[in-house]
A = this chain, B = another copy of it.
Amino acid sequence: MTSKRMSLKKLAAHLSLSEGTVSRALNDYPDISQATRQRVQIAARELGYRPNPLARRLATGIAEAVAYIMPQSHSSISEPFVAQLLTGLGDALSKRGWDLLVTQSVPAEEEPDMIRKLVTSGRVSGVVLSRPHKNDARIKLLQEARFPFIVHGRSLNSDSYAWFDVDSKQAFVDAVDHLVSLGHRRIGFVGAPTYYNFAQSRLDGYRQALRMNGLPADEGLVRITELSDDGGERAAGDLLDQENAPTALLCVTDTQALGALAAVRSRGMQPGKHVSVIGYDGLRLGRHTNPPLTTMAQPQSHSGRELGDMLLAIIDGGDPRNFQQLRMAELLRRKSDGPVWTDGATQNNPTNFESVEELT
C-alpha cells in the first residue's frame, strides 16, 4: 500500500488528523473524543502501525529497557542460573514491551565508569545486579545516582535497597545441624572468597551453628578457594589430608561440592559413607554425580520473574525498601551424606573398609 514502514505521519495523513491527535488517541489521552479515538485505534491496527520505540524513548525520556549485569562465570558448571534468570526477567519485562539487555561484570576498577555509563546513557531505566560483594561499589553508585535497581543477593548493608535473596546463612546453620545430628563433630568448610557476601554469610552460618552445637571453632577446618570444581577439589583434598581430618565437608556451592566428591573418592573413600559432603544450590545435575549430591536446595520459584516485577515497581516510583524478599533453602538429601563413619578398630579414623561399590 504505502511505502515501507508505517509511521505516525502517514497514519495521521490517512486519517486526516494531526500527528499529535493520533498520538494522543493511541496513548489514551483524555482530551480525545471517544469517536476519533476508536477510529484511530482501528486504523492503526489495520494498517499495522507500531510506534518506533527509539523515537518514543527519545521523546519521553523513558528507556523502556532494563540491564542485567551478568556475573562472569568462573565455573561454567553452575550457570543454569543465568539462563533461568534471563527467562524470568524477560517474562516480566515483556508484559510492558520493554527490552532486556545484558552486560557483563567488569573488573572492580572499571565499575564506577561502567555504572556511570549505564545510568547516564539513558539506555536503560533500571538495573539488575547479581552476586554482590559485601561492600559492592556498584550498589553505592546506583544509590547515589538514585537510579532504580535491584540486587539478586544482598550486600552487608541491605536495608535501603531492593533485593531478592535466599537465606543461605540459615541454610548453613541447618546443614551443620543436620550433620551434627548424624554424629559429625569435625565439619570442614569449603568456602569462597569472602568479598562475596554470600560466601561470608554462609561462613557465618557455619560458625554460628558450630557454636550453637557446642563445637569448637577450629579455623583449620575452613578453606577458602575459588568458585569452581577444581577449587573445591583442592580445598577438600587439603582438608582431608590433614592430621585430624573432618568427617564431613560443607561446600559453599554445588560446583565446589563436585570437586569435593572427587577429592574424597580419589583418596579411596566413599562420599556419604566415609565422609559426608553437602553442597549448596540444589542443582539438578547433583542427581547424577557419584554419589548423588546432598545439597541445600534453593527454592524453585522463578526468581527472575520476581526480580523483574519488583524492579518495574521501583521504576514506577515504589520505595525500594518495600521490595525485599528472603527465601529459604531446604535440605535435599541425596546420597552424599550419612552418619559419621567408624569401623570396629579405631575410633576416629577409618582403617579398612570395602572398596567402593556401585552406586545407583
User: Which residues from chain A sit less than 8 Å from chain B, CB to CB?
Assistant: 5, 50, 52-55, 57-58, 63, 65, 70, 72-73, 75-77, 79-80, 82-84, 86-87, 90-91, 94, 99-104, 117, 120-123, 229, 258, 261-262, 265-266, 268, 270, 284-285, 287-291, 356, 358-360
Contact = CB atoms under 8 A, between A and B. Distances in A.
Nearest to A105: B87
Contacts of A266: 358, 360
A147 to B, nearest CB: 13
Contacts of A229: 284, 287-288
A180 B108 CA distance: 53
A103 B90 CA distance: 7
Contacts of A358: 265-266, 268, 270, 356
Contact of A102 (B52, B100, B258, B265): B100
A114 to B, nearest CB: 10
B83 A359 contact: no
Contacts of A104: 87, 90-91, 94
Query: Most B CB atoms within 10 A — which of A54, A86, A258?
Result: A54
Contacts of A120: 5, 50
A261 B289 CA distance: 10
A50 B287 contact: no
Given A117-B50, A290-B291, A356-B358, A100 B99 contact: no
Contacts of A291: 290
A120 B356 CA distance: 60
B52 A121 contact: yes
B54 A123 contact: yes
Nearest to A106: B94
Nearest to A65: B101
A265 B359 contact: yes
A50 B90 CA distance: 28
A304 B306 CA distance: 28
Nearest to A290: B290
8 contacts: A54-B122, A72-B87, A76-B284, A79-B82, A229-B284, A258-B288, A289-B289, A289-B290
A102 B89 CA distance: 10
A274 B251 CA distance: 33
B262 A288 contact: yes
Contacts of A5: 120
B54 A58 contact: yes
Q: Which of A52, A80, A262 has the most CB of B within 10 A?
A: A80
Contact of A101 (B73, B100, B258, B290): B100
Nearest to A259: B288
Closest 8 CB pairs of A and B: A290-B290, A79-B83, A82-B83, A258-B288, A79-B80, A101-B101, A266-B360, A54-B58
B53 A55 contact: no
A77 B288 CA distance: 11
B53 A121 contact: yes
A58 to B, nearest CB: 5
Given A77-B80, A79-B79, A79-B83, 7 more contacts: A52-B122, A58-B58, A76-B80, A79-B80, A100-B101, A101-B102, A261-B288
